[in-house]
Amino acid sequence: MLAGLALLLALGGCGNMTRMVSDPAPQAAPSGSLQAQVDALVQPVLAAKETPGLVVGLLEPDGQQHFFAYGLGEVGGAELNADTRFPVGSLTKGFVAALVTQLVDEGRLRWDETLEQLMPGQPLSAAARRITLEQLASHSAGLPRQPTDLRMLLDLGRFTWDGSNFYRRFDADFLRHYMAEFEPPGKVVPAYSNIGFALIGLAIEARCGQPLETLVRERVLRPLGLTHTGFQGETLPGRPAQGHAGDQPKFMRRGRPVEDWTHSDAMKGSAALSTSARDLLRFAQAHLQPPPGQQRLGELLADNLRVRIPQLQDAPGIAWVTDQMGELAITNQVGMAVGHTSYVGIDRAHGRAVVVLQTSFNWNFKIGHLLLQRLARANTAPSLAAMSAPDSR
C-alpha cells in the first residue's frame, strides 16, 4: 500500500514528467533528406506502438517551415495534419507567459509583486504572501506540481485505471484554501508546478478585470495570427485529435481511445489550451523571428527564454526550461494531457525550432530533442552560461 502511494506521489509531483534523451552518436553528421531524418526518429516509435500517430513541425533558420504527419489520429479516423488540434496541457503556460511579459512591460504587473499584492483580500499563509510573480512564472516558488493530499492521491490512483481527471477538484476555492495553509519545503529549489500558473491566471483576471482566455486571445493569439489555438469551449477550425492511452493511464490497454479532460477555471493558466502543429511552430518562431509589426512582442518573448537560474537540466526561464544536451542548449516545454503528449523545443544558437504532437501519453519523449541535436551537429553551440547572460534591456 505504501509503495503504491509512493508511486502515485511520484506520478503527481515529479519535477520533470519526461525523460529527455541525448543523441548517442553526437559526432555523426546528419545524412539524407530532412524527410529521411525525421522518418528515422519517428518510425521506430510507431513500430513499437508507442503512439498511433504524431505530427512533427520544423522551423529552419531561414524561416522555412516543414510538417510531417504520421498515422490516423483525428476523431473519426482521418489522417493527422499540420492543422489538427491537440490539447497541449502544460504548453499553455508558454502562452500565458507571453501575456504576462506584456503586462509587466506595460507596468500593469511587476515581476517582484508578491501574492499578497496580486491577490488582495485572499487568505494566504505567511510563506505564500512572500511569493513573487517571477517565482511563480519560473517554477521557483517552492510549490509542488499539485497538492498531494490523500484525496489527490486517490484521484491519481483512479486515473491510472480509467483516465479520469485527477484535477477535477482543483477549482479556485480549493486553490485559495491550499494557499492559506501553504508551507514550503525546507530548501526551495526550482521545481515544476501547475499551482504556480494557476495562481498567475487568477491574478491576471483579478488585475485586468477580464477572462484569461480573452486576454490571451487578444494579446497573444491574434497578434501572432494563431487561428487554430484557444481554450476549451472556444470554436476553433480544424479537427480534434483523438487521444489514446500510452504509458498512462497505467492500467489501461495501450492504444485505447480516451476522452479529453475539461478543466476548471483555476486550471486555465496551467493546462487548458488546444493548438495545432502549425500554430505551435508559428508561436515558437515568434520567439526567434517576430512577425512584421510585432518587434516589441518578439523581444519580450525572447526574454522569456532567458535562463533565470542556471543548472544543467530544467534551467528555468519564464514558463520555459533549458536543457544542456552536450554542447547544445535546448529551450523547451513539454505538455501532458490525458491521451496526448506535446513538445516544443527551440535551439536559439542556430535559429531552429521543433514541435512534436502525439496522440498518446508517454513519459519518454525524445524525438524533438534528438532532431534538434542532429540538425545542429555541424555547428558549435554556446554553453548554458551564455544563455543565462543578464537581460540587456
Q: What CATH number should be reported for the domain holding residue 233? A: 3.40.710.10
Q: How confident is the model at residue 233 (pLDDT cuts 50, 70, 90)?
A: low
pLDDT tens sequence across 295-335 = 999 999 999 999 999 999 999 999 999 999 999 999 999 99
User: Is residue 22 over pLDDT 60?
Assistant: no
Q: What is the pLDDT of residue 8?
A: 44
Which domain does 191 fall in, by range?
24-387
Q: Is 12 a domain residue?
A: no
Q: Is 3 a domain residue?
A: no
Q: Is 186 a domain residue?
A: yes
Contact 148, 11 (CB under 8 A): no
Q: Is 9 a domain residue?
A: no
Q: Is 113 a domain residue?
A: yes
Q: Is 124 a domain residue?
A: yes
- Residue 231 has phi, psi (to 5 degrees) of -90, 165
**HSE, side-chain direction, 13 A CA sphere, residue 100:** 31
Mean pLDDT in residue range 376-384 = 56
Q: Is 152 a domain residue?
A: yes
pTM of structure:
0.90
Q: Number of folded domains in the chain?
A: 1
Report strand pairing: 273-276 vs 243-244.
unpaired
Q: What is the pLDDT of residue 27?
A: 40
Q: What is the pLDDT of residue 32?
A: 66
Q: Is 10 a domain residue?
A: no
